[in-house]
Amino acid sequence: MAKTLILYFSVYGTAKKTAEEIARQTGGDLVEIQPVVPYDSNRNHYNALARLARKEHDEDARPAIRNDIPIHDYDRIFIGYPMWWYTFPMILYTLFDKYDFSGKTIIPFNTHMGSRDGGTYRTIRELEPGATVLAGLPVEMSDAEKGAADAVRNWLNRLPQ
């Protein structure tokens, strides 16, 4: 049986809630991608976070990851993130630059406010050509906040074992 990791990056908690639901339903191990410099998680400061995300995107930044991600221990790796500026946060580029996912199965999921996956699943396939990338799950942010148990269950049931 494949060993499963649920890896996620979350600032406002919506990707985290979805990751926790996936972990609950799969029994996989849950690991957060932790930035060296934490992002402000106060939603009242959303505009400042959006400006920072835009700046990182425009500068092609690679924010450092604080924790070691044990991908070598796993066969199936769910990777979750919020959508920022119609793509994933730049720390995900750091992840894909730093780790080789060759031979792994990547299963992306994301939270969004209308942009669905924004083409990020295709980007993951391009960044990790040695990995198998399965169909992802985009979850609208308000649905993630309420809990997306049914959406996760239906998606997981469609994935190959």
How far is 30 from 6, CA to CA, in rounded Å? 5
**103 close to 71: Cβ distance less than 8 angstroms:** no
How far is 94 from 64, CA to CA, in rounded Å? 7
pLDDT in tens, 116-148: 999 999 999 999 999 999 999 999 998 888 889
Task: Write the CATH number for 63.
Answer: 3.40.50.360
How far is 134 from 140, CA to CA, in rounded Å? 19
How crowded is residue 142: how many other Cβ atoms within 10 Å of its Cβ? 10
Q: Which of 24, 1, 19 is nearest to 9 (CA)?
A: 19
Mean pLDDT for the stretch of residues 69-90: 94
Q: How many domains does the chain have?
A: 1
Domain of residue 148, residue span:
4-158
Q: What is the pTM of this model?
A: 0.95
pLDDT in tens, 28-77: 999 999 999 999 999 999 999 999 999 999 999 999 999 999 999 999 99
Per-residue b/e over 46-75, b at no fewer than 16 CB within 10 Å? eeebeebbeebbeeebbbebeeebebeebe
